[in-house]
């Protein structure tokens, strides 16, 4: 059972650090805060502060290409998650669901296949999941 918890904590920490640098962070942050705050409002608030701090560090580390800093952040969250999983068995399913949702998210590199047929296309064709801002052609 300990090996399973450790594997889940490792997977969760890796996913968490990856999400910290992406567009899905707001949703993931809420889920992780709720995970740590299950029935413990003060712990949820403390986790939210730590998550915000860690996200700032992840953004800086990624910009600097600092893999050691990223590994350190991941290790910290792995330990935090492992303690949580040991103390709260119900958190296991929630963490598994978070990891699985992150795996399925388009931001995480899912496969896309589009086919355009019929007619004579003479303008731009755009494939995207999210567009922030305006698009202008011409």
Q: What is the pLDDT of residues 74-110, one digit of tens each?
A: 999 999 999 999 999 889 999 999 999 888 875 544 4
Exposed / middle / buried, residue 81 (Cβ in 10 Å: 0-12, 13-18, 19+)? buried
Can you state the angle between helices 90-104 and 67-87, rounded to 10 degrees? 140
The total domain count for the chain is 1
Would residue 134 count as lying in a domain? Answer: no
Would residue 87 count as lying in a domain? Answer: yes
Is the dihedral angle over the CA atoms 103, 107, 111, 112 positive or is it negative? positive
Q: What is the pTM of this model?
A: 0.72
Tell me which residue of 78, 102, 89 sits closest to 29, measured CA to CA.
Answer: 102
Would residue 97 count as lying in a domain? Answer: yes
What stretch of H or E contains 33?
helix 25-36
Domain limits at 29?
A: 2-108
What pLDDT score was predicted for residue 35?
A: 92
- If one counts every other C-beta atom within 10 angstroms of the C-beta of residue 50, the result is 16
**Rounded Cα gap, residues 138 and 127, in angstroms:** 18
């Amino acid at each position: 059972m300990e090996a399973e918890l450790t594997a889940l904590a490792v997977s969760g920490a890796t996913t968490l650090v990856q999400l910290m640098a992406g567009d899905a962070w707001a949703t993931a942050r809420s889920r992780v805060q709720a995970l740590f705050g299950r029935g413990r409002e003060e712990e949820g608030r403390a986790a939210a502060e730590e998550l915000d701090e860690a996200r700032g560090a992840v953004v800086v580390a990624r910009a600097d290409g600092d893999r050691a800093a990223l590994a350190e952040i991941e290790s910290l969250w792995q330990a935090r998650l492992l303690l949580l999983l040991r103390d709260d068995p119900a958190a296991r399913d929630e963490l598994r669901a978070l990891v699985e949702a992150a795996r399925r998210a388009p931001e995480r590199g899912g496969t896309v296949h589009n086919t355009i047929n019929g007619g004579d296309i003479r303008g731009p064709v755009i494939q995207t999941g999210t567009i922030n801002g305006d698009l202008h052609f011409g």
